[in-house]
């Protein structure tokens, strides 16, 4: 499975926190500094670009304050014929469901084959819960809070790739991307307490190197919501324990400030979608 060639981002022009859809948001209603968020978003965008990862953008739409989190509305990749596939998300919360149509149009115009899930009653929150294993035709799928496990059969069919499902059990780690970050083909950074015991066992069996994030950094800095570009991890600034761990396995670290997005339970990973 080839790595992505670029990423999709959405400027936080209308970003705010209006309701408590997760524990981070519940404590942050009305507390977003939009100008600061814009500055931080540009910092993440610059980090991608300076690491050689081109950034494309989708136009934000008023009324959809969470469009900035482009990881959630879709899931992308290549099938075995190397066709570009975009599986549309089906968001858990009604306030976010309208975002998907705008992303569907963008990906259709970009030449992706659009796949809609057959059962509209099930939920799926894109790359928030479904993550490619680096370099392999293998998917990791989280469930328990935002995504229903039954959808992964269809996702597996769309990409002709097996899915290892992981049950999430800690409400502060409501998406897989908040507690599970593949760093290399052999190494992953996780917050162990976020997973059911049988799911944690699967991770330990399939990754030769499993780094455990510090509890405080995992929760307050969302270190597992990092983005990997080649051999560099883009992480929230100040996560010293995670930085040491990541560097110890031979990766570089680019620290960025995403504090305004932490108020929604998100960091750099949530701010981009992989493009192929």
pLDDT of res. 245: 98
Over the stretch 20-77, which tens digit does the pLDDT of each residue have? 999 999 999 999 999 999 999 999 999 999 999 999 999 999 999 999 999 999 999 9
Mean pLDDT of the chain: 98
CB proximity list for 46: less than 8 A, separation 6 or greater = none
Render 14-32 in DSSP notation, one character per residue: T----S-SSHHHHTTTT--
C-alpha–C-alpha distance, residues 266 and 260, integer Å? 9
Order of strands, edge to edge, in the sheet holding 227-229?
227-229, 232-236, 252-256
- Catalytic residue status for 42: no
Distance CA(116)–CA(101), nearest Å, equals 11
Sketch the domain layout of the chain as residue ranges.
6-275
Alpha-carbon distance of 192 to 170, in angstroms, equals 10
**pLDDT tens across 79-109, in order?**
999 999 999 999 999 999 999 999 999 999 9
pTM score > 0.85 for this model? yes
How confident is the model at residue 231, as a pLDDT? 96
pLDDT of residue 40: 98
**Residue 88: strand pairing partners:** 74
Query: Which position among 130, 175, 179, 181 bears the catalytic label?
Result: 175
pLDDT of residue 24: 97
Q: Is the dihedral of CA 216, 221, 222, 225 positive or negative?
A: negative
> Annotated catalytic, 270?
yes
Q: Considering the domain 6-275 in this protein, what is its CATH number?
A: 3.75.10.10
In percent, how much of the chain has pLDDT > 90? 100
Query: Would you give the end-to-end CA distance of the chain in angstroms?
Result: 11
């Amino acid at each position: 499975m080839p790595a992505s060639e670029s990423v999709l981002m959405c400027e936080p022009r209308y970003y705010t926190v209006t309701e408590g859809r997760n524990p981070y948001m519940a404590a942050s209603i009305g507390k977003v500094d939009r100008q600061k968020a814009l500055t931080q978003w540009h910092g993440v965008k610059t980090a991608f670009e300076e690491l050689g990862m081109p950034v494309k953008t989708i136009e934000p739409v008023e009324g959809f304050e969470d469009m900035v989190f482009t990881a959630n509305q879709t899931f992308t990749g290549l099938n075995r014929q190397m066709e570009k596939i975009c599986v549309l998300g089906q968001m858990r919360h009604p306030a976010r469901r309208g975002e998907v149509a705008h992303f569907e149009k963008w990906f259709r115009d970009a030449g992706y084959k659009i796949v809609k899930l057959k059962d509209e009653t099930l939920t799926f929150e894109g790359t928030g819960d479904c993550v490619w294993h680096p370099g392999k035709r293998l998917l990791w799928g989280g469930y328990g809070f935002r995504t229903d496990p039954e959808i992964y059969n269809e996702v597996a069919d769309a990409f002709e790739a097996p899915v290892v499902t992981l049950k999430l059990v800690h409400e502060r780690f409501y998406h897989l991307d908040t507690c599970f970050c593949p760093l290399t083909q052999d190494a992953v950074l996780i917050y162990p307490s976020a997973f059911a015991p049988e799911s944690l066992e699967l991770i330990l069996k399939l990754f030769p190197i499993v780094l455990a994030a510090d509890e405080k950094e995992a929760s307050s800095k969302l270190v597992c919501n990092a983005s990997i570009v080649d051999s560099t991890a883009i992480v929230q600034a100040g996560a010293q324990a995670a930085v040491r761990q990541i560097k110890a396995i031979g990766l570089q670290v680019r620290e960025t400030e995403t504090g305004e997005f932490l108020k929604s339970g998100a960091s750099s990973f949530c701010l981009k979608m992989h493009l192929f």
